[in-house]
Amino acid sequence: METSQAIERPEVALRGRDVLGIGDLDAREMRAVLALAAQLKERGRAGDHPPLLEGKVLALLFEKPSLRTHATFETGMFHLGGHALYLDDRSAGLGRRESYADIARNLERWVQGIAVRTFAHANVEALAAHARVPVINALSDWEHPCQALAALFTLQERWERLEGLRIAWVGDGNNVLRSLLLGAVRLGVSVAIATPPGYELDAATLEEAGRRAAPGTVIDVIDDPVRAVRDADLVYTDVWASMGQEGEVERRRPVFARFQVNAALLARAPRHAVVSHCLPAHRGEEITDEVLDGPRSVAFDEAENRLHVQKSLLALAL
């Protein structure tokens, strides 16, 4: 298929590389992923989908259920002229019927890349250690790099820049925060983190973020949501209990109650500030309908942008 105009491929060396965490991409490489995503999004809206991965197959190994991740990776491969092969936990018996090492050694003979959505981050690392094709972390309990890229892309679209902006995180110190923080500070975005005592991000990640941070970038760690949002360009939240933590829901609910992103909290942020959530949302818990469905929400823009950043990442890595 001929395209109306050639894609401007960024000059970065991602071909054949794993992306297990956002730290596997330096600042230049992240900017390249965002730049190509912008091209692919613009072309896609005109119905023009360059077949950059024609004849290539991506295996989707999913131990956790998914809407956005499954739909966007599969659609992305279709748009790029390739194919996605979906293998859920029942089909592959991840780590039980076969070891992750043996799964990797088999898949590398048939496909050109693997995207894995799992619980333990060690599972992602095991696949990458034994597969000779690129492995992309589509979510683990430790990191969610594709979500971080989508959030940063959405922020860049909104403000036409990233340097000098500020994100306020309100909620749990989880995998999405870890990837978002490590990616944001490298691109010059300051981050204020408000979590309840006992649910903070780990010290090692905070230290790593400090080492990665671009000059002038600030990381604030506090337990007051109002202070966190007062200078924010983006207010970000996520569920109070992630998949695998269902048994903690009732215990966490009263602890996190004052960390709800609602109209009262948003009123303490600058008038230009927008709100996002990685989804799925537990409406009425970490975020209210009024905010999530309101004019300042970019959560569904970010959900769309998962498609574009993942297409870009696949096109550069496979």
pLDDT by residue (tens digit) across 163-198?
999 999 999 999 999 999 999 999 999 999 999 999
Domains of the chain: 22-143+304-317 (3.40.50.1370), 147-302 (3.40.50.1370)
3-state secondary structure labels for all residues of the chain: CCCCCCCCCCCCCCCCCCECCHHHCCHHHHHHHHHHHHHHHHHHHCCCCCCCCCCCEEEEEECCCCCHHHHHHHHHHHHCCCEEEEEEHHHHCECCCECHHHHHHHHCCCCCEEEEECCCHHHHHHHHHHCCCCEEEEECCCCCHHHHHHHHHHHHHHHCCCCCCEEEEECCCCHHHHHHHHHHHHCCCEEEEECCCCCCCCHHHHHHHHHHCCCCCCEEEECCHHHHHCCCCEEEECCCCCCCCHHHHHHHHHHHHHHCECHHHHCCCCCCCEEEECCCCCECCCECHHHHCCCCECHHHHHHHHHHHHHHHHHHHC
Please report the pLDDT score of residue 4 as a whole number: 52
How confident is the prediction for the chain on average, in pLDDT?
95
Average pLDDT on 259-276 reads 98
- Annotated catalytic residues are 117, 144, 147, 238, 278, 306
Average pLDDT on 241-259 reads 84
pLDDT by residue (tens digit) across 60-110?
999 988 999 999 999 999 999 999 999 988 777 676 788 999 999 999 999
Please report the pLDDT score of residue 95 as a whole number: 66
| 36 has pLDDT over 60 | yes
Please report the pLDDT score of residue 243 as a whole number: 67
